[in-house]
């Protein structure tokens, strides 16, 4: 039996609006990945949205690009032997607009506690902000628990996504040496696993052409989360954002900051006093809403993108 989403009410409403909803099943069956119906108000709201959501993707959301079109390694079928979208890691591609393309891009890793993915506020909205500033945004649908409890699976998906982007850089107007990663909460933990603690070069002898491509990130933004670093000297230049109030996630970011500083890796950190976990871009907030623009300025200062006129509405 499949479980797809958790009861994280912070993510679920925006997830469904952005990327459509799984099928509604009869009472007593699995409903939206929840056995036996809603267990709390967050799940109840989620199931109500499933019943009232139109089929298919919402307007403006691209078709997913499967990272393993023939089937992902380690994919687990449901009780009927079927593979669903949750077993098929994919990218939602938002290339930079023509005439406003810096040639740089981010692989976007939404959070969601490794049980769901905040695909709107930590995915699609981020990609669109990047587009307004001349960067491509590529949102990853990585595999999550409980069907995929091992972090090695999401790490595999992240590395595959980077390899795909670099191999197809010309198709999206990207410079292959200017592809970064931005992760939120659990997405930043995945980022730590894949791009800090397991950086992967290409294997020239690999049978799969994508495995011959480097999966290293050229720059990185960790947004309220990360992992303690095993080899900070091999880390990419890094931008950090968190709040002092978000103590647990702040602690790991401070650890990352200190490790990178000691290793001589370029790093910039912005820690705001007040704000809960999961603030995303905080549009309209005079303090927390500053970090996306500060990140763009950091990219410019580091030479990853050139300063250029931004499209209208480039604020969070």
> pLDDT (tens digit, 9 = 90+) per residue, 235-259?
999 999 999 999 999 999 999 999 9
pLDDT reported for residue 284: 87
Q: How far is CA 298 from the centre of its chain?
A: 20
pLDDT reported for residue 314: 54
Cis peptide upstream of residue 189 (ω within 30 degrees of 0): no
pLDDT reported for residue 138: 98
Average pLDDT per block of 10 residues along the chain, 316 residues long: 30 39 41 54 66 71 94 89 91 94 97 89 95 97 90 97 98 96 97 95 95 97 97 97 94 97 98 90 90 96 81 58
pLDDT reported for residue 32: 47
Quote the CA–CA distance of 71 and 91 in Å, as a whole number.
15
Domains of the chain in sequence order: 64-301 (3.40.50.1820)
Are 130 and 136 in contact by the 8 Å Cβ rule? The answer is: yes
Residue 181, classified by CB atoms within 10 Å of its CB into exposed (0-12), middle (13-18) or buried (19+), is: buried
CA distances from 229 to 201, 260, 294 (A): 18, 9, 24
Does residue 283 sit in helix, strand or coil? coil
Which residue is listed with tokens 């949102």? Answer: 139
Contacting residues for 36 by C-beta, under 8 A, at least 6 apart: 28
Are 224 and 288 in contact by the 8 Å Cβ rule? The answer is: no
Quote the CA–CA distance of 157 and 14 in Å, as a whole number.
23
Tokens of 102: 């810096």
pLDDT reported for residue 43: 60
Q: Looking at the DSSP assignment, which residues form a beta bridge with residue 242?
A: 271
Residue length of the chain: 316
- Residue 29, CB-side half-sphere exposure with 13 Å CA sphere: 8
The pTM of this model reads 0.84
Q: Looking at the DSSP assignment, which residues form a beta bridge with residue 23?
A: none
Q: Looking at the DSSP assignment, which residues form a beta bridge with residue 138?
A: 93, 107
Quote the CA–CA distance of 274 and 246 in Å, as a whole number.
8
Of 117, 225, 132, 138, nearest to 180 (Cα)?
138
pLDDT reported for residue 1: 23
Tokens of 195: 């791009």
CA distances from 113 to 11, 35, 45, 146, 149 (A): 10, 19, 19, 11, 11
Quote the CA–CA distance of 180 and 219 in Å, as a whole number.
5
Quote the CA–CA distance of 113 and 187 in Å, as a whole number.
8
């Amino acid at each position: 039996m499949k479980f797809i989403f958790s009861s994280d009410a912070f993510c679920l409403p925006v997830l469904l609006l952005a990327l459509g909803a799984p099928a509604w099943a009869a009472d007593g069956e699995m409903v939206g990945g929840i056995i036996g119906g809603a267990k709390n108000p967050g799940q109840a709201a989620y199931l109500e949205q499933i019943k009232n959501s139109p089929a298919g993707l919402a307007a403006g959301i691209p078709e997913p690009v499967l990272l393993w079109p023939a089937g992902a390694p380690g994919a687990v079928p449901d009780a009927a032997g079927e593979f669903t979208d949750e077993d098929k890691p994919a990218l939602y591609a938002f290339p930079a607009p023509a005439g406003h393309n810096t040639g740089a891009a981010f692989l976007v890793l939404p959070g969601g506690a490794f049980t769901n993915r905040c695909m709107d506020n930590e995915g699609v909205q981020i990609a669109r902000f990047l587009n307004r500033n001349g960067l491509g945004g590529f949102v990853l649908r990585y595999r999550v628990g409980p069907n995929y409890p091992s972090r090695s699976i999401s790490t595999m998906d992240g590395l595959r996504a980077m390899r795909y982007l670099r191999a197809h850089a010309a198709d999206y107007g990207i410079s292959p040496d200017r592809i970064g990663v931005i992760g939120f909460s659990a997405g930043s933990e995945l980022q730590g696993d894949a791009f800090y603690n397991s950086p992967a070069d290409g294997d020239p002898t690999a049978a799969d052409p994508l495995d011959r491509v480097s999966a290293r990130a050229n720059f990185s933004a960790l947004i309220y989360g990360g992992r303690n670093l095993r080899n900070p000297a091999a880390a990419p230049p890094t931008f950090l954002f968190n709040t002092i109030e978000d103590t647990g996630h702040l602690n790991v970011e401070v650890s990352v900051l200190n490790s990178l500083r000691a290793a001589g890796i370029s790093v910039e950190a912005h820690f705001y006093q007040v704000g809960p976990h999961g603030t995303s871009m905080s549009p309209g907030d005079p303090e927390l809403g500053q970090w996306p623009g500060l990140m763009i300025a950091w990219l410019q200062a580091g030479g990853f993108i050139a300063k250029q006129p931004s499209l209208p509405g480039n604020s969070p």
